[in-house]
A = this chain, B = another copy of it.
Amino acid sequence: MQQSTELSLDPADWEEFSRIAHDALEASIKHIRTASKTPWRTLPKSARDDIHRPLPHAPGDLEEIVERVKKSILPFPTGNAHPRFWGWVMGNGTPAAMLADMMASAMNPHVGGYDQSASAVEGQVIDWCIEMMGYPAAASGLLVSGGTMANLTGLTVARYVKAGFDIRSRGLSGGPRLRVYGSTETHAWAEKCCELLGLGREGFRRVAADSQGRVDLGALREAVKEDRRRGDRPICIVGNAGTVDIGAIDDLDRLADVCRDEELWFHVDGAFGALANLSPSLQGRLKGLQRSDSLAFDLHKWGYLPYEIGCALVRDHKAHLSTFRSHPTYLQSQGRGIQPQPLEFADLGIQLSRGFRALKVWVSLQTYGTDTIGRVIEQNVGQAQYLATRIEAEPRLELMAPVALNIVCFRFHAPGVAEGPLEAINQEILVRLQEDGVAVPSSTRRNGSFALRVAITNHRSRQSDFDILVDAVLSYGEALMDHEH
């Protein structure tokens, strides 16, 4: 009998599976609940050996595998759930979102479109994102893996609309050189995406920023004119709502004017900064955001959600659709049944198969409420101000950039010490903070000098955590100075 030997990947014993799953859930909740006690630390050899296994040909014991996750994986995270993790720009994740991710994985829908609940959820989430950002209700949007994909989506629409020839058919060869503009403070996604899109790294022209890290509008207009004179074709200006190094916000309203005057696409990278729009007291800094043609932001940064969740909004729905829509025969709609219309989300981006990342947004926004999220964002901005105040009050600390939003760049400083030794001391301070499990800032360079960089998109940080940081930097710095002499 064929029937009797048929296999599936469902457990033979559901009760046993359920017991193991509830135990894994307990471990997951405990992991989040004790995040404050789980700083980053080096992955030890024992854990690495537990992770590295030969290719498993035979089935294994799920309970034993889960035990290894608990013993060798959960205890050695990136550290971004911890209240003193301020490296790069990472969110903490939230308990409610974990619960949603679990249900989304159990359900495992394909959210390319289709007549189903998951597509209705993503549609609702996009409408909420549109409202949160003050975009027109007729705009379109797509949930994507993160900021780079969201920015890529906006830039691809810009290229389609502004190229001036049938770029989808012909491609770029034989056409004029297309150019995109942004300040020197723009995140490296800009070059990465311009390379991918075939514009080349040189297709992204970085123009000067002022002392506050905002794009110099005069220099920008001049660059556009110069390129036009040369025969290149300017297509898009990228405005920054929160630069990666120091959190500067370009004058978005005036950038929108420039784009209108020059007939350029106005894309805003609001990877983390756009979320400040949820705070009535911070909203004003983003004036002009809602005039952009496309906007990219992450919910896994200042929306505090777990990875991967970014959002691309495009003001002109038709342009968005025209950029990506594709009609292969195996995707033809029958007008009824499971696919009563073309795949609405697959037609707005590069992915065809799409998971249910929308559920964690739907659950989280309803659980926490956008007002609360806005207040936690304000709290982070207040913490950055507090840290800056403490730094300015300490003679041995030096603020390395203005604090526009939630990022603080500073260093340990001692009069009479040359730049070389100062840099060595601050690099050593950085790795000791990390290795001792005190805190995780990352670093950057400002005006040629090495700086500790504290980016606060953390709902678990308390004011006292910044006192711990300041005290530790001073203490490491003094010790290193003593050692130096």
State the Cβ distance, A406 to closest chain B Cβ, in Å. 15
Q: Which B residues lie within 8 Å of A379 (CB)?
A: 6-7
Q: How far is the CA of A114 from the CA of B168 in the complex (A)?
A: 38
The answer on a CB contact under 8 Å between B25 and A21 is: yes
Stretch at the interface among A55-63, A218-226, A260-268, A389-397: A55-63
Which residues from 323 to 368 on chain A have a C-beta closer than 8 Å to any C-beta of chain B?
A: 324, 326, 328-332, 334, 336-339, 350-356, 359-360, 362-363, 365-368
Q: How far is the CA of A7 from the CA of B380 in the complex (A)?
A: 10
State the Cβ distance, A71 to closest chain B Cβ, in Å. 10
The answer on a CB contact under 8 Å between A330 and B245 is: yes
A435 at the interface (CB under 8 A from B): yes
Known: A11-B95, A443-B334. A65 touches B326 (CB 8 A): no
Q: Which B residues lie within 8 Å of A57 (CB)?
A: 369-371
Closest to A65 in B: B366
Closest to A198 in B: B198
CB within 8 A of A8: which of B79, B350, B459?
B459
User: Could you give, for residues 70-96 of chain A, a 1 whenever the CB lies within 8 Å of some chain B CB and a 0 otherwise?
Assistant: 001111111111000001101111111
Which residues from 26 to 84 on chain A have a C-beta closer than 8 Å to any C-beta of chain B?
A: 26-29, 31-33, 40, 42-43, 47-48, 51-53, 55-60, 62, 65-66, 69, 72-81
Which residues from 238 to 265 on chain A have a C-beta closer than 8 Å to any C-beta of chain B?
A: 244-245
The answer on a CB contact under 8 Å between B308 and A120 is: no
Q: Which B residues lie within 8 Å of A350 (CB)?
A: 148-149, 152, 192-193, 196
Known: A197-B198, A304-B9. A338 touches B40 (CB 8 A): yes
Which residues from 138 to 173 on chain A have a C-beta closer than 8 Å to any C-beta of chain B?
A: 145-149, 152, 156, 167-173
Closest to A434 in B: B337
Stretch at the interface among A284-292, A312-320, A460-468: A460-468
A416 at the interface (CB under 8 A from B): no
The answer on a CB contact under 8 Å between A40 and B330 is: no
The answer on a CB contact under 8 Å between B169 and A178 is: no
- Of the A-B pairs whose beta carbons lie under 8 Å apart in the complex, a sample of 18, sorted by A's number, is A10-B33, A22-B25, A52-B124, A57-B370, A62-B99, A73-B359, A77-B116, A81-B107, A97-B105, A145-B351, A168-B201, A173-B176, A189-B352, A196-B350, A197-B198, A308-B354, A334-B431, A337-B431
A24 at the interface (CB under 8 A from B): yes
Closest to A186 in B: B328
The answer on a CB contact under 8 Å between A196 and B156 is: yes
Q: How far is the CA of A91 from the CA of B94 in the complex (A)?
A: 28
The answer on a CB contact under 8 Å between B462 and A42 is: no
CB within 8 A of A110: which of B25, B80, B199?
B80
The answer on a CB contact under 8 Å between B29 and A18 is: yes
The answer on a CB contact under 8 Å between A171 and B198 is: yes
- Going nearest first, the 4 A-B pairs with the smallest beta carbon separation are A198-B198, A171-B200, A307-B355, A93-B108
The answer on a CB contact under 8 Å between B106 and A105 is: no
Q: Which B residues lie within 8 Å of A202 (CB)?
A: 169-171
Q: Which B residues lie within 8 Å of A337 (CB)?
A: 430-431, 434-435
A442 at the interface (CB under 8 A from B): yes
Q: How far is the CA of A411 from the CA of B299 in the complex (A)?
A: 46
A444 at the interface (CB under 8 A from B): yes
A475 at the interface (CB under 8 A from B): no
State the Cβ distance, A287 to closest chain B Cβ, in Å. 21
Known: A178-B173, A338-B87, A353-B147. A29 touches B40 (CB 8 A): no
State the Cβ distance, A251 to closest chain B Cβ, in Å. 23
